Structure 1
Amino acid sequence: MSDQEITAQAPDPVPGPALRPVRGAARCAVAGLALAALAWVVRAVWHVRLAMAGQPASGPPDQGGGQHRPLTALEDSYHQVSSVGGAVTLLCALAFLVWLDRIRDNARALSGAEPRYGSLLLYLGWILPVVNLWIPRGIVADAHRSVFPDRRLPAVVNWWWALWLAGLAGSAGLIYSDSTDEVIARAYTGVLPLLAADVVIVAAAGTAALMIRTLTTAQQRRMDETAPAGRPGIAP
C-alpha cells in the first residue's frame, strides 16, 4: 500500500474543545457588579437617613406578636430600595456565573485537564453550607492555575474572597435572616454595623470586578497565543 493510500485512510484528528469568547461575558459581569455596588451604596444612604430621622414615637415597624404599624414614607422608600437592590444583586450573580462558566470551559480547552470541581458545584457551591466557604474560590483558582500552572494565583482573588466571606458574615450582609422591617429597626438603634456591612459588600464588588479583569486578560492572551496554532473555536 502506498504512502498516499495510507495517508488517505488515516482518520482525521479529533478537534479539541472549542474556546468560547470571554470578553463580552466579562464586561457584563463587571457591569453587573458596578450596578450591585451602586445599589448597596444607595442602601447605605438610606441607612444613614433612617438613623438621622430617628425611630418614631410609635416604635419600630414590627411591633411584635405579628403586629405591624403603618410605615412612614421614609421606611416605605427603604422597602423599595431594598427590593430593587435584591433584584440587581441577583442579576449580578447570574452575570458572574456566566463569566465563570466560560472561564472554566476555556481553561479545560486550553489545558486539556478536567476541572477539579464538577459542573453542579459551579452553582450549588455558592449556597451549600460549609462547603461554600471554599468551593467558589477553588473553582476560580482552578480555572486560572490549570492554564498557568507556573504562575502564582493573583492576589486579587484572595482579596475578593476574604471580602466576600466578610460580606456573608456581616450583620446585614449578602445573606441574612432579618426582615426589612427588622433592618429598619436596627438602623434606628445601631446603624454602624449596617454601614460596615455595606462598605464590605461594595469593596467585595470592586475587587471582584478587578479579579474578572485580571483573569480574563490573562486567559485572552493565552487564547490569542494559541490562535496561530489553529486551535478550534477561537473568536477573533
Structure 2
Amino acid sequence: MNERITAPALSPIRGAARLAVAALVLAGTAWAARALWQIRLAAAGQPPSGPPDQGDGQHRPLTALENTYHFVSTLGDVTTVLCAIAFLAWLWRARDNALAFSGRPLRDAGPWVYAGWIVPIVNLWIPRRIIADVHRASAPDDRLPWVVNWWWGLWLVSILSGTGLMFTDTSTDAVIARAYTNVSPLLLVDAAVVGAAATGVMVVRALTAAQQKRMR
C-alpha cells in the first residue's frame, strides 16, 4: 500500500533557478579558463629546470605563467564550490515542490539530495534519479528532457576520467607537470566539466519551467 505523506507547501523556484544558472555559467567559464591555461603551459613547454615539484620536498621558483595558472586553478575551485551550493539549494527546493505536487514519497529521501553526490558507487546514479523523479512529479505527462541524460553523461565522464588525474595529483604543481608532459587527459576532464555545466543550465531551466507551468 502506498503511504501518503504530509507534503510541504509549494516554494518559489525562479530565484533559486537564476542563482543556480549563474553559478553554473561562472563555474563553466572558470574551467574553460583552466583549460586555456593548460594549453598555454603545454605550448610553452617545461622549463629546463624541470617541473615545479623537484622531489624530496624541493620546489623551484614558479614562472609567471605557472603563477597565473595557480590563480586560475584556485578560481576554478572556488566557483565549483559556489556552483555546488547554488545547484543543491535549487534542487532541494525543486524536490520539495515535486513532493507537494505528487503528495507521495519520492524514491530517495531528502538527505540523498546531498549525500547522493558524495557516497561512492551510488553517486553514479542517485542524483540523476532525483532529477528524473522531480521531473516526473512536476510534469507527469511529459517525457524526461533529453538534456538530463547528456548532462549526467558528461558529469560521469568528468568524475570518472578525473579520478586518475585531479584526485591523484593532489597539488596544482603536479597538474602543471602533467600539462607539460601529457595535456590531453587534463583537457578531456575540463571539456566534460564545461559541457556538464552548460547542459546543467538547460536542466535547471527545463525543470524550473515545468514547475512554473504546473504552479500556474
Provide the TM-score with structure 2 as the length reference. 0.92
Match of 1:19 in 2: 10
Match of 1:230 in 2: none
Match of 1:183 in 2: 175
Report the secondary structure of 2:127's partner residue. Answer: helix
Name the aligned partner's letter for residue 76 of structure 2: G
Alignment of 1:33-72 (within 5 A): 33-72=24-63
Number of equivalences:
210
Q: Do the aligned partners of 1:172 and 1:197 also contact (CA within 8 Å) in 2?
A: no
Match of 2:3 in 1: none
Unaligned runs of 5+ in 1: 1-14, 225-236
20-29 or 188-197: bigger deviation: 188-197
Give the Cα–Cα distance (whole angstroms) in 1 for the partners of residues 159 and 63 of structure 2.
29
Match of 1:133 in 2: 124
Give the Cα–Cα distance (whole angstroms) in 2 for the partners of residues 159 and 174 of structure 1.
22
Give the Cα–Cα distance (whole angstroms) in 2 for the partners of residues 175 and 149 of structure 1.
39
Residue 16 of structure 1: how far off its partner (Å): 5.7
1:197 to 189, 192, 196: 189
Task: String of CA shifts for 1:59-116, please: whole Å, max 9, x gaps.
Answer: 1111122222221121111111111110011001100001100110000111101221
Give the Cα–Cα distance (whole angstroms) in 2 for the partners of residues 64 and 136 of structure 1.
40
Larger Rg: 1
Give the Cα–Cα distance (whole angstroms) in 2 for the partners of residues 125 and 55 of structure 1.
40
Taking structure 1 as reference, are residues 186 and 172 closer, same or farther at Cα in structure 2, changes over 3 Å only? farther
Give the Cα–Cα distance (whole angstroms) in 1 for the partners of residues 168 and 22 of structure 2.
28
Taking structure 1 as reference, are residues 220 and 104 closer, same or farther at Cα in structure 2, changes over 3 Å only? same
Provide the TM-score with structure 1 as the length reference. 0.84
Name the aligned partner's letter for residue 78 of structure 2: A
1:90 to 81, 87, 111: 81
Residue 173 of structure 1: how far off its partner (Å): 8.9
Alignment RMSD (CA, Å): 1.7
Give the Cα–Cα distance (whole angstroms) in 2 for the partners of residues 204 and 139 of structure 1.
17
Report the secondary structure of 1:63's partner residue. Answer: strand
Give the Cα–Cα distance (whole angstroms) in 2 for the partners of residues 99 and 175 of structure 1.
27
